[in-house]
Amino acid sequence: MKEKSNWLDIFEKQYRLIFFGKNIQKQYENVSYFSHCIDKKIVIEIDQDKKQISMKKDNCFRNDHQDELIKYLLVNSNRWNQIGLKKIDKSLRIINIESNDYFTIYSFDTIKIH
């Protein structure tokens, strides 16, 4: 069995999550999921095509932990190939946060240097 990379292991332990996997359907091939380690429900979806990280609202994270979690994922985007996505070698930032009854959706993009 392949050993998990350090960043992923730290992420899972710190936030009590498990890498659930990647969507195998062709139209969603750049989507990966994390589930909560206790009830196994999917709580995070990273959609690289839409440039969004969606977090389910009924999760157990306080707002400050949500922000830390999102930042951790963005900082480690150069390692996303380890969770079935394309790695991104540019720095990412949150450009918009939207919310509905079920999800908080963080839109991201690369940092543009002028």
Coil/strand/helix, residue 92: strand
Task: Phi first, then psi: give them for residue 45, nearest 5 degrees.
Answer: -125, 130
pTM exceeds 0.75, yes or no: yes
Q: Return the half-sphere exposure (C-beta side, CA atoms, 13 A cut-off) of residue 91.
A: 4
Q: Return the half-sphere exposure (C-beta side, CA atoms, 13 A cut-off) of residue 112.
A: 4
Rounded CA separation 57/93 (Å): 21
Predicted confidence (pLDDT) per residue in 57-99, tens digit: 866 666 677 888 999 999 999 999 999 899 998 899 999 999 9
Pairing state of beta strands 31-36 and 17-22? Answer: antiparallel
